[in-house]
A and B are shown apart, each in its own frame.
Chain A
Amino acid sequence: MERETIFWFKAAPIHAFPIDSGACIKYLDQQIAVFNFSQSGEWYACQNLCPHRMQMVLARGLLGSCGEEPKVACPFHKKTFSLKDGKNLNGDDCHITTYPTKIEGEYLYIGLPFETSQSEKAENIT
């Protein structure tokens, strides 16, 4: 995927997130699931919607790994998704969108595609 224009949405202070687990961020009408691995210090973001049954629940799923791939398991039917590229790891046909993350000054930022920004949040663009 080409990622010409993203903007960095300032989500929340990192201490607000539970460790080795998931939490949900709301941006406009969008729900974004955020996960962190305390051992490696990695952070991931993806859509909160599980595409299998269209439920807003991925942030409440269990975090884990499949080989080297970080993954999340949906609490409803245990569909698992790579947090790196959003690929479904059960061999199903549904995938999820993932977003880049960065940490600056104790804050987590999520890189969202520009069209979702709807201009009024323009102050967040870096």
Chain B
Amino acid sequence: MGGNMKKIIVVGNGMVGFKFCEKLHQADQEKNFEIQVFGEEQWPAYDRVHLSSFFEGKAKDELLLAPREWYENRSIELLTNTLIVQINRNLQVVIDHLGNKHQYDYLVLATGSSAFVPAITGVEKKGVFVYRTLEDLEALKSYASHCKSAAILGGGLLGLEAAKAALDLGLQTHVVEFAPRLMARQLDDQGALLLKTKMEELGIQIHLQKTTSEILGNGKLKGLQFTDGSFLEVDMLIISAGIKPRDELARKTGLAVAPRGGIVVDDHLKTSDPNIYVIGEAASHRGLIYGLVAPGYEMATQVVNQLIGKEVKPFEGFDMSTKLKLIEVEVGSFGDALGETPGSKPILYKNKTKGIYKRVNISADGKRLLGGILVGDTSQYGMLHQFFQNHMALPPEPEDLILGNRGGKSAQGFGIDALPDSAQVCACENITKLHLCQAVQEGNQNISSLKECTKAGTGCGGCLPMVNDLLNSELKKLGKAVKTTLCEHFSYTRQELLDLIKIKEIKTFRALINEFGSGQGCEICKPVVASLLASTWNEPIVKHQHIQDTNDRYLANIQKGGSYSVVPRIAGGEITPEKLIVIGQVAAKYQLYTKITGGQRIDLFGARVDQLPDIWEELIAAGFESGHAYGKSLRTVKSCVGSTWCRFGVQDSVSFAIEIENRYKGLRAPHKIKGAVSGCIRECAEAQSKDFGIIATEKGWNLYVCGNGGSKPQHALLFATDLDSKTCIQYIDRFLMYYIKTADPLTRTATWLNKLEGGIDHLREVVIDDSLGLGEELEREMEFLVNTYSCEWKEVVENPQLRARFKPFINTEEPDSSLQFEPLRGQKIPSNWV
């Protein structure tokens, strides 16, 4: 350690204090700082937000944000069980409860808050608890074992959390609130009333407008006496009436403290002493205390940036929007939820039958969304929050925001051009649209250089399609031709490459890149070419192992920790008891974690590479085939039970689903394809959320196309009605083949259709009216692919050379010992994911 290191002392090892250590360690590349942390509790920092999961049986260790080794490995000195009792600002020293002195250059107070306990007579009685620390929870839990009922004092966010805990402990639960409604700060009367109704349905009794005058009982609590004369008999009381910032240390040392508590900080989170910062719930910023973790984290980042000398924007308060699931009830609240802005106009939607309440508050000029409330259904929260946060212009009929578009003129798209410059595109790295546009204008005109320059899309990668659209739209504005060439190795589009492969009869990646490309290829073009070769020649994909992404290379899905999961095909979701038993036996033998998938089949997780061929040998012997869950190919054709059993069914949906799934199994495409067949209009197979969906009618089948679930759900569109089975298959043949031939890489059918000129009408002309004269060719190509299908796993299992590729090491037969698992609910999960 160098001699001129600055010493940082962090007082408080809560969530915010921990985040500060993490951020500072990360940012301090030059090792300028030495960190020492004091925590008064016996455990290192734990996840207070999910404290109630402690009652769901989660162990204490699982709640820790990081084990002690985490601090040791980073040379952060952590002293738990140690309370700092004094600060000597002149000497820059803190003194702990044992009298030890610790020198600091900068002091960061992250002392957090304690539960606010109102001064009610009898509050000291046995059976009265607060809900704040793990210690509180342990005490509460052990006392509860002798109790039948509990009252929670406080009907806010924290109080309802505590109510959930009491419910989990099997107690008759009462919530006592002084205000006339629950969550008074986040919800209006109607929203709170709905929440109350839902809570009551779950067996929680809600008592509103009750002021407790005395806690009765002889040494031990017996009940609550209210000022209105009524009495509530309970065995225990949990006080959750708010928080009180821990500012006593600051008070003693003469730092400015706000009248209602909290250590006063400026916009740079500095106290009246320039060497002392405060972050988290102990800070009073512009008169406000922030009792959520997100603003605390933001403060931690701010201070870290200041310490390492990075330019910082002043802390300007924080959006206190919340979305959460409270005891089975979804609740969202954002911005000016109660409509307190002068002139604001609310739009309300209430559905008592469904238990849904929505409210948005529109500005006086009708142009901006000020805030809102969602109870019972928070699915629109993300979209509404975007509108609110980015000050986006509202649609002409603002009620569409909560009601959805109800026919008529189609709603304005939320396309990339509609987004304001301030819109956050990449949430992981906090990159705005403006930031990206500028980077494009400065010359970052391909996706990789844009990613490298801005870091957008380098976290979870979920925003990459949006980043790409933005790049193309910006390039167009700059007057540059946008040609979606594949990557630096091929200046052709996917469609052009497909034509070249076909016309020139190219069968390998090497031949294609030698003749039409340059370099050695990459992770973009190799899998695309693999898919094109498969869609054209349908040779076993194991032949092109070196250009397959890892899932296609090992014919299984890679999972956390590097093990693989195995999904046998269960066409239409129909399986005999005998085959079900085989899956169970295989899973038990290889100790695989089993889970039912959304596509009506069974996923077996946690197989080592070298176990895959053995597992498949057993599955194939029992008559299973590859489910292609690893491929950009047909996954499942889901079905409901249909007319064979169901009293409503009008067609045999299972038989048709099996026929279709077997027809298209193994079909390689630009992206995964999912289908479904429903036996009647009730649509139990959810066919309208699939790439192709079939719904039975009295006369035949209705065909829907281009739907998907996922991050941007889109309903499939009705394509043709009352088809017989043969025509229905003919249309799907043409539709899928046209998609395979014309879509960009990694584009689902829904996105493909959205970009297709002429849209669904054009698609109908091509498929039904054969306007391009392609019909027969498309059918012939599909027929070829159907006829040349073979199970990839069968080939591997039967071929010793291919089998030999499934081992972790070339130079030894040992299995990979880096794979590690831990138990969860009687099964296993991977444990080494950082």
Contact = CB atoms under 8 A, between A and B. Distances in A.
B794 to A, nearest CB: 21
B558 interface: yes
B812 interface: yes
A16 B807 CA distance: 12
B527 A56 contact: no
B522 A57 contact: no
Contacts of A55: 560-562, 833
A65 to B, nearest CB: 4
A17 to B, nearest CB: 6
Given A75-B550, A91-B452, A56 B562 contact: yes
Interface string B494-534: 00000000000000001000000001111100110000000
Given A24-B809, A91-B451, A64 B526 contact: yes
Nearest to A10: B811
B816 interface: yes
B818 interface: yes
Given A60-B553, A60-B554, A12 B546 contact: no
A47 to B, nearest CB: 12
Given A21-B546, A66-B488, A92-B458, A12 B811 contact: yes
Nearest to A72: B523
Contacts, number: 108
- Tell which of B458, B488, B523, B816 has the most Cβ of chain A within 10 Å: B523
Given A31-B818, A39-B520, A90-B458, A62 B810 contact: no
Interface size class of A (residues with CB under 8 A): 35 or more
A76 B559 CA distance: 8
Nearest to B812: A26
Interface string A54-96: 1111001111111100110101111010000000001110000
Contact of B452 (A20, A76, A77, A90): A90
A92 B459 CA distance: 10
A66 B520 CA distance: 8
Contact of B810 (A17, A39, A91): A17
Interface in A33-54: 34, 37, 39, 53-54
Nearest to A64: B522
Interface string A1-25: 0000000000110001111110111
A59 B472 CA distance: 34
Contacts of A70: 520
B613 to A, nearest CB: 16
Given A55-B561, A76-B558, A90-B451, A18 B805 contact: yes
B84 interface: no
Contact of B523 (A16, A54, A57, A64): A64
Contact of B545 (A18, A64, A91): A18
Instruction: Find the residue from B489, B520, B553, B554 having the highest chain A CB count within 10 A.
Output: B520
B170 to A, nearest CB: 40
A54 B820 CA distance: 13
A21 B131 CA distance: 56
A37 B561 CA distance: 28
Contacts of B808: 24, 26
B522 A66 contact: yes
Contacts of B560: 55
Nearest to B526: A62
A54 B812 contact: no
Contacts of A90: 448, 451-452, 458
Given A63-B520, A90-B451, A91-B452, A56 B818 contact: yes
B478 interface: no
A56 B819 CA distance: 9
B29 to A, nearest CB: 8
Contacts of A75: 549-551, 558
Nearest to A56: B818
B708 to A, nearest CB: 22
- Of the listed residues A54, A60, A71, the one surrounded by the most CB atoms of chain B closer than 10 A to its CB is A60
13 contacts: A11-B810, A18-B545, A18-B805, A21-B545, A21-B546, A24-B809, A31-B818, A55-B833, A60-B562, A62-B522, A64-B521, A73-B522, A91-B455
Interface of B: 448, 451-453, 455, 458, 461, 488-489, 510, 519-523, 526-527, 545-547, 549-551, 553-554, 558, 560-562, 805, 808-812, 814, 816, 818, 832-834
Given A57-B562, A60-B554, A64-B523, 12 more contacts: A11-B811, A25-B810, A53-B833, A55-B833, A60-B553, A62-B550, A65-B489, A65-B519, A65-B522, A77-B461, A91-B452, A91-B453
Interface of A: 11-12, 16-21, 23-26, 31, 34, 37, 39, 53-57, 60-67, 70-71, 73, 75-78, 80, 90-92
The 5 tightest CB contacts between A and B, nearest first, are A64-B522, A73-B523, A91-B452, A75-B550, A65-B520
